[in-house]
Structure 1
Amino acid sequence: MDNEVLAAVRELLPGIAERAAATEEARRVSASTIRALADAGVFRMLQPKRYGGAEADPVHFFEVVRAISGACGSTGWVASVLGVHPWHLALYDDRAQAEVWGGDPDVLVCSSYAPTGTLTPVEGGYELSGVWRYASGCDHAQWALLGGLRVGAAGEPMDFITLLVPRADYRIEEIWDTVGLRGTGSNEIAVDTAFVPSYRVMNNYDMSNLRGPGQQVNAGPLYRIPFATVFTTAIAAPVIGVVAGCYENYLSTMRDRVRLSLGGGRFVEDKFAQVTVARAASEIDAAILQMDRNVRALMELAAAGEEIPMQPRLRARRDQVRGTERALDAIEQLFKTAGGQSLDRGNPIERAWRDAHAGGVHVANDAERALALYGRGAFGLPVEDNLV
C-alpha cells in the first residue's frame, strides 16, 4: 500500500527545511507548519477510523517522521511525538476519546510521562498536582498525558499511571532553551489541583500486558501491539531521520569541495571520505531495516489474533536503541570528516549533529538498559519493565 501521507509531506519538505533556522530561533515549531502537517494527514495516521483517523500502518508513520526530521529535526520530533499520542489515546476508555475528538478530530495531545505528579484518590478518580518537564509541542495541544505514581496504603509504589488532562487544567511555563532540538518547544506543564476522572486514567501495568479499555471500540491490530514498541520507535525515528537528512546534505555539500590542505584535490576522490560515506549509509540502512522489520512482525502477530510473546518485544527494543546508536555513530563519522565549515552555527550538518545527540539522551534511547533487558530474556530470566 502506498504511503499517501508521505507523498503529501514531501511537498512540504523544502519549506520545512527553509524554516529550520527560524524554528530553532523561535524555540518552537510554527502554528502554520503544524497546520500544514495536519492537513497532510500526519497527526491522523495512528488515530482510530471511528474518529476520522487512518489507522495506518505504523511503519508508514515512522517513514513520514524520518522524512520530516531530515528536513528539520525539531519539526520531525514534534510531528512524531504529537503524532503518536492518538495511538495511545485510542487505548483509553471511549468517554475520554469522545471528550478529546468528539468535537474536533484534529485536536492534538502532548505528553510528559515521567511520574512526577502528586495523586490524591478521591471519589470517581484522582486529584492531581505537579510539574512535568519536556512536553514537546505542548503549545499546539489542547490536552496532555501526564505521569503519576499510584501508591499503596503504606506509601509503597503500586503502579505508574498516565492521566489525561485538558488544557484548561494546566499552564505552560516556557523553560526550553537547549543545545539541540531547540525548536521543539518542550516546555514545562504545571497543574495546581485538577480532578481527573477514572475513565481518563490508564494503568501502565495494563498497557504492559497489551490491554486497554479502548480496545473494546478500537478492535484493529494497530491497538494490540506494545506501547513500548510504538512509543520508543517514535523517539528513535526522528534521530534516524535527522541523520539520514544529514547524510544527504553531506553528499551535496562535499561533492564539489576541494581540499586546501592534506595534499589538496577533490574531496570526493579521497578514499577515506568514500569509506566514511559507505559506513554511514550502512548504519542508517541497518537502523531503518531492523526497526521496520520488528514493527511489521508485531503487526502481523496482532492481525492474526496471536499472542505477542516477549521475544519479539525485546527484539524491537534492542533494535530500537541500537538504531539510535547506529545513527549517532553515522553522524559522528560525517561530522568529523566534513571539515571546519561544518562548525558554522546554523550549518545543516552542525544542526543535525546537535539535534541527533539531543534526541539520543531521551530515556527511550537509553541503550544499556534496553540491551540488558534483551540479555535477561535471552538467558531465560524474567523480564518486567514498562518499556518492553
Structure 2
Amino acid sequence: MSNEVLSAVEELLPGIAERAPAAEDARRIPDETMAELVGAGVFRMLQPSRYGGREGDPLEFYEVVRAIAGACGSTGWVAGVVGCHPWQVAQYPDAAQAEVWGADPDTLVASSYAPVGTITRVKGGFRLSGRWSFSSGCDHAAWATLGGLLVDAEGRPQDFMTMLLPRADYTIVDVWDAMGLRGSGSNDIVVDDTFVPEHRALRNYEQHQLQAPGRAVNTGPLYAMPFGTVFPMAITAPVIGIVAGAHDRYLGTMRDRVRLSLGGGRFADDPHAHVTIARAASDIDAAILQTERSVRDVYQSAVRGEEIPMDWRFRARRDQVTATERALAAVDALFRTAGGSSLRRGNPIERAWRDAHAGGVHVANDVERALTMYGRHAFGLDVEDTLV
C-alpha cells in the first residue's frame, strides 16, 4: 500500500529544507511550512476517521516524520510531536474530541506531559495550575494537553492525569532559545487556576491499561496501541530522520572535497571515510528496521484483536531508545570526520548534529531508564512506569 501522505510531503521537502535557517532564526516553524504540512494531511494521519482523519498504519506516520526531519530537524520534530497528538485526543471521551475537531478537523494540539501541574477536584471537574516547559509547536496549536498530579486537601498526590485545555485557558511564554531543534518553538505554557470539565481529563493509569474512555467510540486497532509505544516512537522517528538526512548531505558535500592536510587527496578516496559512511548507514538502517519491527508487531496484534503482550511493549521501548542511541552514534561519526568546515554555524551537518542531540535528551529517549525497565521485566520483576 502506497503512503499517499509521504508522496505529498516529498514534493514539499525542498522548500522545507530551504526554510530551515529561517525556522532557526525565528525559533519556530514558519507558518508557510505548517500550512503545507496541514494541507498534505500529516496531522490527520493518526486522527480518527470519525473526525476526518486517516486513522492509518502508524508505520506510515513515522516514515513521513523521518522524511520531514531529513529536510529540517525542527520541522520533523514538530511533525512527530504535534502529529501524534490526534492519537492522544482520541483517548479522551468523545465530548472532548468533538470540542477539538467538531468545527475544524485541522485543529492542532500541543502538549507537555510532565506531571508538573497541580490538579484539585471541584464540582463538575477540576482546577488546574502550573507551568510546563518544552511544548513543541505550541504557537501553531489551538489546544494543549498537559500533565499534572491530582492532590487531596492536604496536597498529597492521588493520581496522574492529563488535562485538555483550549488556547484561551493558558498563556504561552516565549522562552525557547536552545542549541538544537531551535526552530521547534518549544516554549513554556502557564495555567493559572483554570477550570477543566470532567470530560477533558484523562487518567494515565486507564490509558496505560488500554482502557481509556475514547476507545468506546474509537474502536480501530490504532487506538488499542499503548501510549508507551506510539508517543516515544514519535520522538525517535525525527532523530533517525535528521541523521539519515545528514548522511545524504555528507555524501553530497564530501564527495568532491580535497583535503588540505594529511597528504592531501580526495576525501572520497580515503578508506577511513568509507568505513565511517558504511557504519553510519548500517546504524541508520538498524534503527529504522528495529523500530519498524516493534511497531508492526504491536499494531498487528491490535489489528487481530489480541491482547498486546507486555513482552512486546517493553521490547518496543527497548528498540526505540537503542534506535536513538544508534542514530546519535552515526551522526557523531559523520560530524567527527566532516572536517573543520562542518563547524561553521548553519552548515547542514552541524545543524543535524545539534538537532539530533537535542532530540536525544528528551525523557522518552532516556536509554538507561528504558533498558532498566526492559531488564527488570525480563527477570520477572515489577516495573512501576507507565511509559511502556
With structure 2 as the length reference, what TM-score do the two structures score?
0.99
Counterpart Cα distance in 2 of 1:286 and 1:294? 12
- Counterpart of 1:203 in structure 2 is 203
Deviation of residue 159 (structure 1)? 2.3
- Counterpart of 1:179 in structure 2 is 179
Deviation of residue 381 (structure 1)? 1.1
| 1:5 partner SS | helix
**Which residues in structure 2 correspond to 1:292-331 (within 5 Å)?**
292-331=292-331
Deviation of residue 153 (structure 1)? 5.7
| 1:54 partner SS | coil
Letter in 2 for 1:66: R
| 2:188 partner SS | strand
Deviation of residue 383 (structure 1)? 2.1
**Which residues in structure 2 correspond to 1:68-83 (within 5 Å)?**
68-83=68-83
| 1:336 partner SS | helix
Deviation of residue 157 (structure 1)? 2.7
Deviation of residue 156 (structure 1)? 3.7
Counterpart Cα distance in 2 of 1:153 and 1:303? 44
Segment of structure 1 superposing worse, 124-133 or 345-354: 124-133
2:102 matched to 1:102?
yes
- Counterpart of 1:264 in structure 2 is 264
Work out whether residues 71 and 242 of structure 2, in 8 Å CA contact, stay in contact via their aligned partners in 1: yes
Deviation of residue 152 (structure 1)? 4.5
| 2:178 partner SS | coil
Moved beyond 6 Å, runs of 4+: none
Counterpart Cα distance in 2 of 1:176 and 1:3? 34
Residues matched between the structures, number: 388
Counterpart Cα distance in 2 of 1:311 and 1:220? 22
Deviation of residue 320 (structure 1)? 0.3
Work out whether residues 118 and 151 of structure 2, in 8 Å CA contact, stay in contact via their aligned partners in 1: no
- Counterpart of 2:160 in structure 1 is 160
* Structure 2 unmatched ranges of 5 or more: none
Counterpart Cα distance in 1 of 2:384 and 2:303? 25
Q: Deviations over 1:86-124 (max 9, x none)?
A: 000001100000000000000000001111112121011
Deviation of residue 384 (structure 1)? 2.7
Work out whether residues 22 and 30 of structure 2, in 8 Å CA contact, stay in contact via their aligned partners in 1: no
| 1:160 partner SS | strand
Counterpart Cα distance in 2 of 1:375 and 1:112? 28
Letter in 2 for 1:134: F
Counterpart Cα distance in 2 of 1:152 and 1:304? 41
Letter in 1 for 2:221: P
Counterpart Cα distance in 2 of 1:302 and 1:358? 33
Counterpart Cα distance in 2 of 1:210 and 1:258? 57
| 2:218 partner SS | coil
**Which residues in structure 2 correspond to 1:274-293 (within 5 Å)?**
274-293=274-293
Segment of structure 1 superposing worse, 301-310 or 335-344: 301-310
Counterpart Cα distance in 1 of 2:155 and 2:382? 26
Deviation of residue 193 (structure 1)? 2.0
Deviation of residue 154 (structure 1)? 5.4
**Which residues in structure 2 correspond to 1:1-388 (within 5 Å)?**
1-152=1-152, 155-388=155-388
Letter in 2 for 1:89: V
Letter in 2 for 1:41: G
| 1:115 partner SS | strand
* Structure 1 unmatched ranges of 5 or more: none
Counterpart Cα distance in 1 of 2:352 and 2:114? 27
Letter in 2 for 1:78: V
Counterpart Cα distance in 2 of 1:384 and 1:116? 19
Counterpart Cα distance in 2 of 1:8 and 1:75? 16
Letter in 2 for 1:162: T
Q: Deviations over 1:190-214 (max 9, x none)?
A: 1112110111000110111111111
Letter in 2 for 1:53: G
With structure 1 as the length reference, what TM-score do the two structures score?
0.99
Counterpart Cα distance in 2 of 1:43 and 1:155? 38
Letter in 2 for 1:186: S
- Tell me how large the CA RMSD over aligned residues is: 0.9
Deviation of residue 158 (structure 1)? 2.7
| 1:308 partner SS | coil
Counterpart Cα distance in 2 of 1:105 and 1:138? 17
Counterpart Cα distance in 1 of 2:148 and 2:194? 13
Counterpart Cα distance in 2 of 1:158 and 1:292? 36
Q: Deviations over 1:207-261 (max 9, x none)?
A: 1111111111110000001101100000111111000000000000000011111
Deviation of residue 151 (structure 1)? 3.0
Counterpart Cα distance in 2 of 1:40 and 1:14? 15
Q: Deviations over 1:13-38 (max 9, x none)?
A: 00000110011000000111101000
Letter in 1 for 2:73: G
Counterpart Cα distance in 1 of 2:151 and 2:319? 33
Segment of structure 1 superposing worse, 152-161 or 244-253: 152-161
